[in-house]
Structures are given as C-alpha cells and as structure tokens.
C-alpha cells in the first residue's frame, strides 16, 4: 500500500447485488474459499437493503461509533494510527483518496485523474474550482506545493511518511492557472499515481502565516546533506508546526473535509459536526457527503460494557469489536434484528515483532541470532491461538504480503508448532539452563544472560492478552520466561520506534494497491526511529526493496516481491500470526449501509437516517 497504518485491534466475503445485474468474480489468492459478487461496473462491496423502520429506533440524525482506543493525535501529518486515519477521512481532504467501491483510488480535491507525460515522470493535476478552506479561501496549487514541502521537511515529525516521498522531485505550478500543477518524479515508481492518498492537503495561510517555507525548495528538503536545523527561521517554524495543539486542541484543528472536530473528551469521546455552508454540500461524490449531523466516536475499552451498549442500541457502528464479542452478540435475536453484522476479509495482518538489534543493556542480546528467532516462531502456538481465541475465523499467513494479493508468495511453508525442534535449535545456539532455575541462559559479552523477555501489547485488547498469555505458556515449556507488558497505544508506538522492547504484538493495515516495503523494512526506517521496529535489513534488502518500488512491469516486479518475502521469512524479524478479518456492525436504522473491503469499512458520512420529519424512509425516499 501507499502507507501502512497501525490498527486497533470476517469469515467470508459476502455478496453485493446490483440493481442492474451482477456477476461473480473470485478474488485471487483470497484467504476465504467463498466468493464475492462484483457489480456490473466493477464495484466490490457488500450492499444491504434498507430495513423496515422500527418505532424503538433512535430518530437522532447522528452516528455513534465504537472506538476501543483513541488516537494518539489528530495532527494532519504527524501520526499514523488507525483512529486518526479514520477521523481524518471526514475532516480532511486529499488530492486523491481510496475508492471504496472499486478498490481503487479516485480524485478528491483533484478535478480528475492526472495527465501523465510520455516518460511517466510528470503528473499534471487541476484542482476542483469550487474547493474552499473553512475561512472561504480557495484551495489552490500553492496549498498543494506547501503540503509536500511540509511533508518532506526534515524537521517535521512524520518519520512514517518520509520514505514514500523520496521519489517526489518537484511541484511545478502552472503560471496561467492557479489551480493547476505538475508533480515531477525522480523515476518510475509503482505508486507514482497514488502515493498521496494518505496525505491530507494543508492550508498554507493557516500553517505558515510568515511564508517561511517559501524560502525553501523541495530539492533542498530532498538533499540528505541539507542542514535544516541550522536555519533558525525554519527550526522555529517546524517547532511550531509540530506542536501538539494541532493534533489535540480542537481550536487549532482545521481541514477541508465536510466535518469539523468540535469536542475531544480524552478517554470518552471525539465529536464531529457537519459544517454549515460546506463547499461540496451539493456534490454527489461519496466522499463529499455529510448526511449525519454528527459523528460521535465513543471510546470504550471495556468489552463487557461495549456488549451492553450494543444490546441497548447506544452504539451504531463498530469495526473493532472482538470475534468473541460478535459471536456473543449474534446469539441475541434483538441484536440480529437491529444490526447488520459481518466477518470481513481485509488486507491487514497481525504479527509479533522481534527486536533483532537490542541495546544489550535494557534489552538483552537474545534475538540477534535468526536461529533463535526461528525457535521462537516454532514455539508460538498459532493454530491454537486462532482456534481458541478467534473461534477459527481468521486464517494463518506466512508472509508480510496479504494473501488476498497476487504478489503473495504461496511457496513459503507455514511454520509448524514444534517444541522439540525449537529446544534443539536453542541448545545448538548455546541457550541452556546452566543453573537449574528452569530457564535457559547463555554467556553474552562476558555476562550470563537469562532468557527472559517482555512482550508489549495494547492494554485495551482482551484478545491480545489472551494471545500473549498462550505464547508465554508455550515459551515456558522450552525454558523461556515471557512477561506481558500492557500499555496504551501512544506508549506502544513510542517504545517500538525507540527500539525499547523485546517483543511487540501489533497489526498493520493495508490496502489493495501495490506494496512499498520502505516504511516497514528499510534500514533507514530503523535508524531514524520509523516503523521498522525489528531492525531488519541490510544493503541487499534495501536494494531489493528499491527494485520492487521502481519496477512497474508486474511480470518483473512480482518475482522480486516474492523474493523479498522469502528474505523476510528466512530472517524471521516477525512472527506472522494471521490475516485479519474485520468484525463490522452497523445499525439498520440507516440507509446507504454498504460495507467496504478497505478502511474505514463503513462510509459514516454517507449513512442516511431512514426516518425524516416524522416519515419513515424507504430507499432514501419519504414514504409519505
């Protein structure tokens, strides 16, 4: 995908039927044996017919969304967790964005798809002339140029994005048309046309009132020898721009999307309100819609309380309840009559990251040997975890590419659970119980190191605690002590990026496009405290990643992608657990209740209350 995002942690892809007819099209390498129905125009999503209105349903035109955890920040560029990304879908506008209906990318602020030069290095766009910022200013090409300067500025705190912008050489403004510009690329790249779909566009006059960035070029920000910190004005601007207030204080939050954040009660809720006189209010585009008056993201970390809130219909939407919770809810006939609910295959995956380059002080040098890492994989009871914790719903995966993609390397074998084989590997690596305390140890750098490690998990994920407990119990059988360390999401991410962990359980979210492995696997992303948590890689893997990125011919690219998967498989920086299934719940009091295969899974802005002005609604039309 363009950029991986951290998820807050279903059986089958279900049917979409189109009024004008439909045909079946099996998704290649799907993790499900079921089929998804494809609409006549290439749509791929689940369509729910409007339900008959019930008098017991709430008539308030607002959507209450369940969040098991809140975002670390809502900063428009500095952040990468899923709650932030979902909220940004409604408060921000993008040059291009995910096309939910066809698993593609579509114009957002752009008037149309770009015109591409013969050499495939110049992408010319024109902005929609009606597009406005909240203060009424027109959105122009200068805002686009400013946005990419911000994203590439070395002093801006967005390490997860830097690698995706390396191929952007320049933004050239059209001298005769303030809405027209050209993105100039360094070379051909698999994501040249869609790399910007995760980047909200920024208002230049709001974030740079003194025009500081006008004095700098993209070429300077691309130059690794450029000493940005030596310029006092630039440093002062970056410090101000990185300030937490732009992501935490609603008074300083702005964007060109149809909704505005009006309240954030930490640990409780984040409330969005529909903007008055919104510039795209009359648009028919899915991403311009603003049908609910409010979208309330209600933060509830307690699984039992969440169940009660669904049973009492206090929540409308969730894509984050556990598999066990959904099975429990499905046993309630009232729930089934009030909610659409699905298990949905996604492009996401769950993993355990292993710190392959520990500091040797706070975190001992235990997993520096890939044989030890393979032993830990052999000791991880993945099948039991999926059967016990997840009721057998998700499927195992063995690679860092989604099994739903044609690039998935089917030649890699699943790592079978084998305690005795793992013990032998550890014995051969010199990890034995020398003092009879029941745990393995070894002399490392002249000191005896006990095979004791911590695994970081999120404190709001019951399933993760259960998974980690099963892993710890299995490791103990081979003489390894594994301690559970449950933390908040911001702490989890901070520790991972600072390499302050032994093991860390996480989920990466993906999408249907071609993968760029830079963010998660390039050595630079470890050195600069990005998202290469494990420390994987060397010059050879970096070169292969670049070859995958810059080869657009699939007949050449896909074999390289499969080779990269084999490289990661052999080095074992991650223990891959499963390809994820989303648990999507949506109240039947809304129309337009489609379920999509990519984030945010439900287009909250497009949900139409089926009761209006005292009249029941059917198919979006008043019955009277």
Segment 44-61, tens digit of pLDDT = 788 889 999 999 999 999
Q: Cα–Cα distances in Å, from 245 out to 75, 239, 242, 254, 349?
A: 8, 12, 8, 11, 32
Tell whether 111 is covered by a domain. yes
Distance CA 158, CA 52 (A): 47
CATH at residue 443 = 3.10.105.10
Domain boundary among 217, 251, 285: 251
Place of tokens 């892809």: 13
Tokens of 352: 């355990």
Residues forming a β-bridge with 611: 616
Which residues span the domain enclosing 219? 93-251
Tell whether 76 is covered by a domain. no
Q: What is the pTM of this model?
A: 0.75
**Residue 519, phi then psi, degrees to nearest 5:** -60, -40
Tell whether 35 is covered by a domain. yes
Distance CA 74, CA 94 (A): 15
Residues 361, 494, single domain; the answer is yes
Tell whether 85 is covered by a domain. no
Distance CA 358, CA 187 (A): 36
pLDDT at 4: 53
Q: Is the dihedral of CA 281, 284, 286, 291 positive or negative?
A: positive
Domain boundary among 216, 251, 286: 251
Residues 475, 519, single domain; the answer is yes
E strand or H helix at 222, and its extent? helix 218-222
pLDDT at 538: 96
Place of tokens 């996480």: 506
Residues 364, 331, single domain; the answer is no
Residues 217, 307, single domain; the answer is no
Tell whether 74 is covered by a domain. no
Domain boundary among 251, 273, 299: 251
For residue range 317-349, list pLDDT tens digits in order.
999 888 889 999 999 999 999 999 988 888 889
Distance CA 302, CA 496 (A): 25
pLDDT at 597: 80
Low-confidence ranges of the chain (pLDDT < 50): 1-2, 5-40, 614, 618-624
Distance CA 204, CA 157 (A): 18
Task: List the alpha helices (DSSP H) in 224-380.
Answer: 232-241, 245-248, 303-311, 323-330, 333-338, 370-378
Q: Which long-range contacts (CB under 8 A, 24 or more apart) does 173-178 make?
A: 173/141, 173/142, 173/145, 174/141, 177/126, 177/141, 178/138, 178/140, 178/141, 178/142
Total number of domains in the chain: 3
CATH at residue 606 = 3.40.190.10
Distance CA 461, CA 320 (A): 10
pLDDT at 613: 55
Tell whether 542 is covered by a domain. yes
Tell whether 415 is covered by a domain. yes
Residues 490, 419, single domain; the answer is yes
Q: What is the DSSP string of 471-483?
A: HHHHHHTTT-EEE
pLDDT at 42: 55
Residues 596, 514, single domain; the answer is no
Distance CA 182, CA 144 (A): 10
Tell whether 435 is covered by a domain. yes
Cβ atoms of residues 533 and 567 within 8 Å: no
């Amino acid at each position: 995908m363009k950029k991986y995002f951290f998820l807050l942690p279903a059986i089958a892809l279900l049917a979409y039927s189109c009024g004008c007819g439909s045909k079946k099209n099996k998704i290649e390498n799907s993790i499900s044996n079921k089929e998804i129905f494809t609409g006549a125009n290439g749509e791929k999503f689940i369509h729910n017919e409007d339900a008959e209105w019930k008098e017991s349903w709430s008539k308030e035109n607002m959507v209450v969304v369940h969040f098991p955890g809140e975002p670390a920040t809502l900063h428009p560029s500095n952040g990468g967790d899923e709650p932030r990304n979902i909220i940004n879908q409604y408060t921000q506008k993008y040059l291009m964005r995910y096309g939910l209906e066809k698993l593609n990318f579509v114009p957002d602020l752009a008037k149309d798809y770009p015109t591409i030069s013969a050499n495939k290095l110049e992408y010319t766009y024109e902005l929609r002339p009606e597009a406005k910022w909240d203060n009424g200013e027109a959105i122009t090409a200068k805002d686009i140029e400013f946005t990419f300067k911000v994203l590439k500025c070395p002093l801006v705190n967005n390490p997860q994005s830097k690698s995706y912008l390396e191929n952007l050489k320049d933004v050239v403004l059209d001298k005769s048309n303030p809405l027209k510009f050209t993105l100039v690329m360094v070379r051909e790249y698999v994501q040249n046309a869609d790399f910007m779909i995760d980047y909200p566009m920024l208002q230049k006059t709001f974030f740079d009132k003194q025009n500081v960035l006008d004095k700098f070029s993209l070429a300077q920000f691309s130059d690794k020898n450029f000493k940005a910190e030596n310029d006092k004005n630039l440093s002062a601007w970056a410090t101000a721009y990185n300030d937490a207030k732009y992501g935490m204080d609603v008074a300083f939050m702005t964007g060109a999307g149809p909704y505005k954040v009006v309240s954030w009660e930490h640990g409780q809720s984040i409330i969005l309100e529909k903007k008055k006189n919104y510039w795209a209010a009359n648009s028919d585009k899915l991403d311009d819609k603003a049908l609910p008056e409010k979208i309330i993201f209600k933060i509830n970390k307690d699984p039992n309380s969440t169940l009660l809130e669904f049973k009492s219909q206090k929540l409308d939407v969730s894509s984050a309840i556990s598999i066990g919770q959904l099975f429990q809810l499905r046993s309630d006939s009232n729930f089934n009559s009030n909610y659409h609910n699905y298990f949905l295959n996604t492009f996401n995956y769950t993993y355990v990251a292993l710190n392959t380059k520990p500091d040797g002080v706070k975190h001992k040098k235990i997993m520096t040997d890939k044989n030890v890492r393979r032993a830990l994989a052999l000791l991880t009871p993945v099948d039991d975890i999926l059967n016990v914790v997840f009721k057998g719903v998700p499927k195992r995966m063995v690679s860092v590419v989604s099994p739903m993609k044609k690039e998935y390397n089917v030649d890699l074998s699943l790592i079978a659970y084998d305690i005795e084989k793992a013990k032998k590997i550890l014995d051969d690596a010199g990890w034995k119980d020398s003092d009879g305390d029941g745990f393995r140890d070894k002399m490392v750098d002249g000191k005896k190191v006990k095979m004791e490690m911590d695994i970081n998990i999120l404190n709001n994920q019951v399933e993760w605690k259960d998974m980690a407990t099963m892993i710890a119990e299995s490791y103990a059988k081979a003489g390894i002590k594994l301690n559970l360390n449950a933390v908040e999401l911001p702490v989890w991410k901070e520790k991972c990026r600072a390499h302050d962990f032994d093991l860390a359980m996480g989920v990466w979210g993906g999408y249907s496009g071609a993968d760029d492995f830079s963010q998660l696997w390039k050595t630079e992303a470890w050195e600069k405290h990005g998202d290469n948590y494990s420390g994987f890689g060397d010059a050879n893997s970096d070169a292969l990643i670049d070859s995958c990125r810059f080869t657009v011919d699939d007949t050449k690219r896909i074999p390289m992608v499969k080779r990269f998967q084999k490289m990661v498989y052999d080095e074992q920086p991650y223990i891959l657990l499963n390809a994820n299934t989303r648990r999507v719940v949506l109240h039947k009091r809304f129309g337009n209740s489609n379920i999509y295969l990519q984030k945010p899974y439900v287009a909250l802005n497009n949900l139409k209350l089926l009761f209006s002005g005292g009249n029941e609604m059917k198919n979006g039309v008043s019955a009277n």
